[in-house]
Structure 1
């Protein structure tokens, strides 16, 4: 039972973090700019999958802590069963 719960928590953490990254905005559009800033200089004229100024904000701890917590608890449960 503990192994199943640990596996489910680990998978739920990954799914939560993937969903949180997708909810923050389209990945193929550059990050929105303020009205007083110029638009980012992209190598192609249209939307691209790798905008220059998107950054790695989607990896921040403040946005992903619930998913990381679920994964950590799931891994601890899985390792506790492996040790016993």
Structure 2
């Protein structure tokens, strides 16, 4: 039971992280880059969207799920 709960929390955490990244804006936007011509990279989008402040709920769910799966494996 603990392992299943951990697996569900882990999957929910991964889905939450993916949804948070998608909700922050378009992931690709065709535009003309300064050197390479047309590119699908969005302009001026650094790695801020991967920061800890914006993703802490997903990270907590994922870590809790991993710990529960580990505990379930050690107990059984």
The alignment's TM-score, normalised by the length of structure 2, stands at 0.82
Structure 2: tracts of 5 or more residues without a match: none
Q: Deviations over 1:20-39 (max 9, x none)?
A: 00000001138xxxxxxxxx
More helix by percentage: 2
Structure 1: where are the runs of 5+ without partners? 31-39
Which consecutive segments of 4 or more residues in structure 1 shift more than 6 A? none
Name whichever structure is richer in strand by fraction: 2
Q: State how many pairs are aligned.
A: 73
Calculate the aligned-residue CA RMSD, in Å: 2.0
TM-score (norm 1): 0.75
